[in-house]
Each structure stands twice: as structure tokens, then as C-alpha cells.
Amino acid sequence: KQEVTQIPAALSVPEGENLVLNCSFTDSAIYNLQWFRQDPGKGLTSLLLIQSSQREQTSGRLNASLDKSSGRSTLYIAASQPGDSATYLCAVSGGGYQKVTFGTGTKLQVIP
Amino acid sequence: GAVVSQHPSWVICKSGTSVKIECRSLDFQATTMFWYRQFPKQSLMLMATSNEGSKATYEQGVEKDKFLINHASLTLSTLTVTSAHPEDSSFYICSASSRNTGELFFGEGSRLTVL
């Protein structure tokens, strides 16, 4: 059974700082890995999708890497802003019906 | 990017009534849609996976007779909470999977409160 863990569970940083969020998974036989953000009381917004054959993806100030062999992914956020405050979730897809397993989430607070 | 619309965004109902939540993929065809439940300060819990034109696959512990899922077309899936009780109060979120990339797109969620 796939298990996905995110560290840290919560993070508070001053505005402008670069930061890294970590995601680890136990089964390396994945289809893809996706990073999302969730604002309170809202649905999930897709940030980056990394296919199993890819090593990283970039979008603006966000960069996500994937190391399947070690079961790890990182989300790098450059020059953090207060608007980045949210819960960040990684999700691993694999198996029948594209079964998706979510991580426990990292709650980020960027202090102005 | 692709858009998934979920409706209603919030609903309050009396105990014993049924509530239907709709999930639509607006600009792509979704052969597979997922329904999740989220409790406060917790991650998403997958309830069921639905494929267009076939019966939904429910996760262990999810009552299929209570949470009826219909995926009648490539752009619409519905979740009906039957005979709702206060313990069914939760945040329900749907997602649709892109047939080409497998990327998941989520609706905004529906907050159900059962009195």
C-alpha cells in the first residue's frame, strides 16, 4: 500500500525567503506525482505535475523535482510571498484506475 | 488550465434528506472522476472512483448505498448523499483526470452541513 509523507507538517517563514517542502513515498512504481495548494475551505489547485519519466518541472517561482528510486519529491518556492500561504499537498498516482494517494500536507505561512 | 466545476459550493439540509452534488469537467473529457471527503485539518480521503458508463469503485469503509455516484457522461459525475445525518457533514471534493496526461483537476469543493 502506497504511503505518502510530507515534512514538515507546518512551516512559517518571513517574506522573501526561499523554502523547500518535502514529499516521500514508499512505492516507487508511480504514474506521476502532482503538487497542489489548498486554501482554507477551498478545493485543490494544481501547481506542478511530474510524469514518472521526468526529473523536474518548473512554473514561475516553483520548481518540483522527482527522484523515483529514492521515493522523494521536493517543491522549491523561491522568494516566498504572503500569498503563498496555504497548505501544500503532494499526490502520487499509480496502480489501477490511476489510484491517487495524498500526502499529509504542509501548512505554509509566509509572514510579511 | 482545465476547469472542474462543482456545485453547490455549500449546502445545509435537514437530517434524513438527500443531497446531490455535481461535478463537471468544463473543457475536457474526464473518463475517470474521483470523489473525496475531507475532515477539518486532515488530508483528502478517497471515497470512490467513477468511470464513465460503469459502476463506481468504492473504497473500503464507504457505504455505496449511502453515497450514490453516477457518471453518466464524460463531463458529469454526481454524488448523492442519501438520508443524510449530522455525521455526514463534511467537505466533499471531486476531481477529474485528464485522459492524456493523468493530471488531476479539482473542483472547489462542497461543504455539506446536516442539521
Closest partner CB to B104 (pick from A41, A42, A46)? A46
- Residues of chain A found within 8 Å of residue B109, distances taken between Cβ atoms: 41-43
Dihedral Cα A80, A82, A83, A85, nearest 10 deg: 90
pLDDT for the residue B69: 93
B107, closest residue in chain A (CA to CA)? A43
pLDDT tens figures, B13-41: 999 999 999 999 988 888 789 999 998 87
The answer to whether the CB atoms of A41 and B105 lie below 8 A apart is no
CB contact under 8 A, A41 and B34: no
Q: Using a CB cutoff of 8 Å and minimum separation of 24, what contacts does B76-80 make?
A: B76/B22, B76/B23, B76/B24, B76/B25, B77/B22, B77/B23, B77/B30, B77/B33, B77/B35, B77/B50, B78/B20, B78/B21, B78/B22, B78/B23, B79/B20, B79/B21, B79/B23, B79/B35, B79/B47, B80/B18, B80/B19, B80/B20, B80/B21
B103: Cα within 13 Å, side-chain hemisphere: 19
User: Is pLDDT above 70 for A98?
Assistant: no
Residue A105 or residue B72, greater confidence: A105
Question: Of A73, A63, A59, A71, which Cα lies nearest the Cα of A18?
Answer: A63
Backbone torsions φ then ψ of B19, nearest 5 degrees:
-130, 135
Distance CA A6, CA B60 (A): 24
Cell numbers found for residue A92: 502520487
- CA B39, B53, B105, B19 torsion-angle sign: negative
Interchain proximity A44–B106, CB inside 8 Å: yes
CB pairs under 8 A between A and B: 56
Across chain A, what does the average pLDDT equal?
92
Q: Which pLDDT does position A14 carry in this prediction?
A: 97
Which pLDDT score is estimated for A95?
62
Query: Nearest-CA residue of chain A relative to B105?
Result: A46
User: How confident is the model over B108-112, as a mean pLDDT?
Assistant: 93
Identify the H or E element spanning B5: strand B4-7
Residues of A in contact with B57 (CB under 8 A): 97
| Residue of chain A whose Cα is closest to the Cα of B106 | A44
How far away is chain A from the Cα of B66, in angstroms, using its nearest Cα?
Answer: 22
For the stretch A37-89, pLDDT in tens is 999 888 889 999 999 999 999 999 999 999 999 999 999 999 999 999 999 99
The share of chain A scoring above pLDDT 70, in percent, equals 96
Per-residue model confidence (pLDDT) at position B101: 76
Quick one: average pLDDT of B81-110?
A: 90
Residues of B contacting chain A (CB within 8 angstroms): 1, 6, 32, 34, 43-44, 46, 49, 51, 57, 91, 93, 95, 97, 101-109, 111
- Return all residues near B74 (Cβ < 8 A) that are at least 6 apart: B25, B29, B30, B31, B52
Closest-CA distance, A10 to chain B, in angstroms, reads 12
pLDDT over 60 at A96, yes or no: no
User: What's the pLDDT tens digit per position in B40-95?
Assistant: 878 888 899 988 878 899 999 999 999 999 888 888 999 999 999 999 999 999 99
Residue A9 clears pLDDT 90, i.e. is over it: yes
Among the listed residues B34, B33, B97, B45, the one whose alpha carbon sits nearest the alpha carbon of residue A104? B45
